[in-house]
């Protein structure tokens, strides 16, 4: 198989945006290098769009909305079905792109990144098939209609997964979209635009403009013909988008940062709770906004937890992401690597007990953005590593004496995106889950549910993705009084 870069180059798409159903030359003159996180070498460079590119894409989406918004649910579902099938058919191409552009181990790209991304399209298709766009309430019809043109701003850590989480429900709802993928991991987004074209999605329904947040992101957020912005990114980026969108009073859905707790109750199966907790915290090299990176455990078993966490960490194989045996690759980019190093240093300086990992790269790796899976124990809630999102393979273990204190620690953060609770007493398990301020709570490591709404409390954002609620984010509600008279 050709590499994704060669494939896109030969197809003439690496230097193009996808607007109005065509691959078009950008008007912006800037460019940015796409860097391999495993070698630190430049893979290629891509163009950066500007406000004129954004305007072209928004105009194409606005024109397409007139027809797409009134297509039947069956027609929209048929298009999504084709997108779903093509994504799965091209799993290997997408997996290679993800490993190249953001360092996902090839086995994880094949087994998680791509199939889970496809699930978002399947769920959108399935939910669309039976969704009641009009319901009766007395003599009033409550109607849900597509909100309009949606700007979708996606991150570099789960590139194709976050694209489909937004595009699937937006198109299902009858909206048209302009996607701004992260300029740091753009290859999978370009491949997705090919899927859209090959699935015969009508021209202008999906558009793609690459660029920076300060230029393309801000232009989209402030554009008067954009009806909604959905962003997944840092809390800082979410604030900037909301500020840019405010003058046009458009809807802004934000899936932002997290510092998720994992509360281990006194009656939990400790070896299982800790080993799976470490794995969940280090999923995608810790670059997940909902990663449970605060392991909150009874003080009486702290030493045992430390030993179990170290043992679990030692099972991980950090290395070349193209090697089949690798479980964890590099961090996705230099800035993230440097942030993780600073946060590890902060943990050491503030007196946390370092029980695994530490500064620098793992042994034998002299280049690439590789970090050492790191565990800090006996962490206090006022420490930097207990409060700030690290977005890397750094686990903090915080002890408690009473369950009441565990709940307080879990909620002692400005974030509220995800949470975990481990235990065997279901009454206690459910009571603790009910008191955690978080958009999702996972009990005893359940299977991922693409129908479960996902989103945050507090500074983790607002709005929901996934499932029915994710599709309803892209709709307006209209009441037609007297409809049933």
Residues annotated as catalytic (active site), given as ranges: 255, 289
Half-sphere exposure of 197 (CA within 13 A, CB side): 16
* For helices 302-314 and 270-281, angle between their N-to-C axes, nearest 10 degrees: 50
Asked if 73 and 188 touch (Cβ cutoff 8 Å), the reply is: no
Helix (H) or strand (E) holding 153: strand 149-153
Distances in Å between the Cα of 181 and the Cα atoms of 210, 233, 390, 434, 454 are 6, 11, 22, 35, 20
Interior/surface letters 461-470, b for 16+ CB within 10 angstroms, e for the rest: bbbbbbbebb
Report residue 445: phi and psi, to 5°. Answer: 55, 65
Nearest to 187 by CA among 32, 349, 336, 304: 32
377-401: string of b/e by CB count within 10 Å (b at 16+)? bbbeeebbbbebbbbbbbbbbbbbe
* 3-state SS assignment for residue 48: strand
Please check whether residue 40 is in contact with residue 368, taking contact to mean a CB–CB distance below 8 angstroms. yes
Contact 94, 109 (CB under 8 A): yes
How many Å apart are CA 187 and CA 77, to the nearest integer?
26
Which of 241, 152, 220 shows the shortest CA–CA distance to 192? 152
Closest CA to 28 of 132, 256, 253, 180: 180
CA-based Rg of the chain, rounded to a whole angstrom?
23
Rounded CA separation 448/456 (Å):
17
Residue 145's beta-bridge partner residues? 476
304: three-class secondary structure by DSSP: helix
Distance CA 186, CA 160 (A): 9
């Amino acid at each position: 198989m050709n590499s994704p870069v060669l494939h896109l180059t030969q197809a003439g798409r690496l230097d193009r945006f996808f607007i109005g159903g065509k691959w078009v030359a950008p008007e912006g003159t800037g460019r940015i290098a796409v860097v391999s996180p495993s070698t630190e070498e430049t893979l290629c460079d891509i163009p950066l769009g500007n406000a004129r590119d954004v305007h072209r894409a928004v105009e194409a989406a606005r024109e397409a909305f007139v027809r797409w918004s009134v297509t039947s649910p069956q027609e929209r579902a048929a298009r999504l079905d084709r997108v779903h099938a093509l994504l799965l058919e091209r799993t290997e191409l997408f997996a290679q792109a993800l490993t190249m552009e953001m360092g996902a181990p090839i086995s994880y790209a094949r087994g998680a990144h791509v199939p889970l991304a496809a699930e978002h399209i399947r769920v959108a298709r399935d939910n669309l098939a039976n969704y009641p766009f009009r319901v009766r309430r007395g003599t009033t019809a409550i109607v849900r209609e597509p909100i309009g043109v949606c700007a979708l701003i996606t991150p570099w850590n789960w590139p194709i997964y976050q694209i489909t989480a937004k595009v699937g429900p937006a198109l299902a709802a009858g909206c048209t979209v302009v996607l701004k993928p992260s300029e740091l991991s753009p290859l999978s987004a370009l491949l997705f635009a090919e899927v859209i074209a090959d699935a015969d999605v009508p021209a202008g329904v999906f558009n793609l403009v690459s660029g920076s947040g300060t230029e393309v992101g801000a232009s989209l957020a402030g554009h008067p013909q954009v009806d909604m912005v959905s962003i997944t990114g840092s809390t800082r980026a979410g604030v900037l988008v909301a500020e840019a969108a405010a003058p046009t009073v458009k809807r802004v859905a934000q899936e932002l940062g997290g510092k998720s707790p994992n509360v281990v109750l006194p009656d939990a199966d400790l070896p299982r709770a800790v080993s799976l907790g470490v794995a969940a915290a280090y999923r995608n090299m810790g670059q997940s906004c909902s990663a449970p990176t605060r392991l909150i455990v009874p003080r009486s078993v702290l030493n045992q937890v430390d030993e179990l966490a170290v043992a679990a960490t030692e099972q991980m194989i950090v290395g070349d992401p193209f090697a089949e045996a690798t479980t964890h690759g590099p961090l996705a980019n230099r800035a993230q690597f440097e942030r993780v190093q600073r946060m590890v240093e902060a943990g050491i300086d503030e007196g946390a007990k370092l029980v695994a990992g530490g500064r620098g790269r793992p042994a034998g790796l002299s280049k690439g953005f590789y970090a050492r899976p790191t565990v800090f124990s006996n962490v206090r809630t006022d420490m930097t590593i207990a409060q700030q999102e690290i977005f890397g393979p750094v686990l903090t273990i915080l002890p408690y004496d009473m369950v009441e204190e565990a709940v307080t620690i879990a909620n002692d953060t400005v974030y509220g995106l995800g949470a975990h609770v481990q235990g065997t007493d279901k009454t206690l398990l459910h009571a603790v889950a009910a008191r955690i301020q978080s958009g999702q709570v996972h009990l005893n490591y359940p299977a991922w549910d693409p129908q479960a709404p996902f989103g945050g409390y507090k500074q983790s954002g607002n709005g929901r993705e996934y499932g029915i609620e994710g599709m309803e984010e892209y709709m307006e509600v209209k009441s037609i009084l007297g409809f049933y008279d």
